[in-house]
Amino acid sequence: MIIWRGEGQLVENFYSSSCPNVESIVQQAVSTKFSQTFTTIPATLRLFFHDCFVEGCDGSIMISSPNSDAEKDAQDNLSLAGDGFDTVIKAKQAVEQACPGKVSCADILAIAARDVVVLAGGPSFNVELGRRDGLISQASLVAGNLPEPTFNLNQLSTIFAKNNLSQNDMIALSGAHTVGFSHCSRFSNRLYSFSSSSPVDPSLNPTYAQQLEAGCPQNVDPSIAVDLDPVTPQTFDNVYYQNLVAGKGLLASDQVLYTDPTSQPTIVDFANNPGDFNGAFIAAMRKLGRVGVKTGNDGQIRTDCTAFNS
């Protein structure tokens, strides 16, 4: 009997016989890492997104190269926090002890991304599984495939559409900025050099702009970071969208979602209806998890997430 599998050929119960406890093993490892540092949450979520947008959700972001030319070494990925990589590595080690050679790093990252959302108070959802680990990880393949903090709505929608994600999916996934932080250099132009007529971006709430200027003076240490959600930075909620309505989006690519009349109604909906946001976020995360996946005999099941099998 042939069981027809949907797009991407992923199924929720992929490991039901080969590694039945994989999700609880990963969850335990993620929970332990989270007890050590909150950064586990935004770092792991962002790692999943960056993995999926380059070569698909195939664990290619995890590869370490002695020549510093792997995907993780690209300019756009240098700010990925080490805690995300460590979360996946620790989870993989625990899974290998129980089910050696069965579960891909790509799937472990997908499970961990769901687990951190739940740990931060966000919605739970079932993760589709069956991804294989990719065989390509090159820094040169990253440029142009990740959204930039300066993108407008059209640019954001275009880069998400390349990955089969709708504008609604893009707005919902942007809600991941309810946790995490950004470095001053990614938004300082909104404070000091927005335009010749206005150094400060007029879409910035003036009080918020003053707070940002205090936290990010010109020529500040580049390692200084600022919360993406200044109100509830450690809770996965819909306050990110309420902040946009109030002019408190940190990145230009956040605030544009409200200032552009095309997307504004969705922002208002998510700001007022957490259930609408949670539902859209779950649907978008499941779609994101199908991007460019390798299944069947493609790719491999890495033993060590940071290295291709020899």
In degrees, to the nearest 5, what angle opens at C-alpha 106 toward C-alphas 294 and 174?
105
Longest distance between any two alpha carbons in the chain, whole Å: 69
- Residue 307 is assigned to a structural domain of this protein: no
Domain count for the chain: 2
If we measure between CA atoms, which residue out of 262, 281, 162, 182 comes closest to residue 224? 182
- Residue 203 is assigned to a structural domain of this protein: yes
- Residue 16 is assigned to a structural domain of this protein: no
Are 223 and 178 part of one and the same domain? yes
- Residue 71 counted as an annotated binding residue: yes
Q: What is the pTM of this model?
A: 0.96
- Residue 232 counted as an annotated binding residue: yes
Are 191 and 157 part of one and the same domain? yes
- Residue 96 counted as an annotated binding residue: no
- Residue 10 is assigned to a structural domain of this protein: no
Q: What is the pLDDT along the chain (310 residues), one digit of tens a residue?
A: 444 444 458 999 999 999 999 999 999 999 999 999 999 999 999 999 999 999 999 999 999 999 999 999 999 999 999 999 999 999 999 999 999 999 999 999 999 999 999 999 999 999 999 999 999 999 999 999 999 999 999 999 999 999 999 999 999 999 999 999 999 999 999 999 999 999 999 999 999 999 999 999 999 998 899 999 999 999 999 999 999 999 999 999 999 999 999 999 999 999 999 999 999 999 999 999 999 999 999 999 999 999 999 8
Are 163 and 282 part of one and the same domain? yes
From the candidates 50, 132, 286, 302, give the one annotated as an active-site residue: 50
- Residue 303 is assigned to a structural domain of this protein: no
Are 86 and 159 part of one and the same domain? no
CATH number at residue 95: 1.10.520.10
- Residue 300 is assigned to a structural domain of this protein: no
- Residue 58 counted as an annotated binding residue: yes
Are 139 and 200 part of one and the same domain? no
Q: How far is it, in rounded angstroms, from Cα 56 to Cα 181?
A: 24
C-alpha 129: how far from its chain's center? 18
Which residue range(s) make up the domain with 239? 153-287
- Residue 183 counted as an annotated binding residue: no
- Residue 6 is assigned to a structural domain of this protein: no
Residue 50 appears among annotated catalytic residues: yes
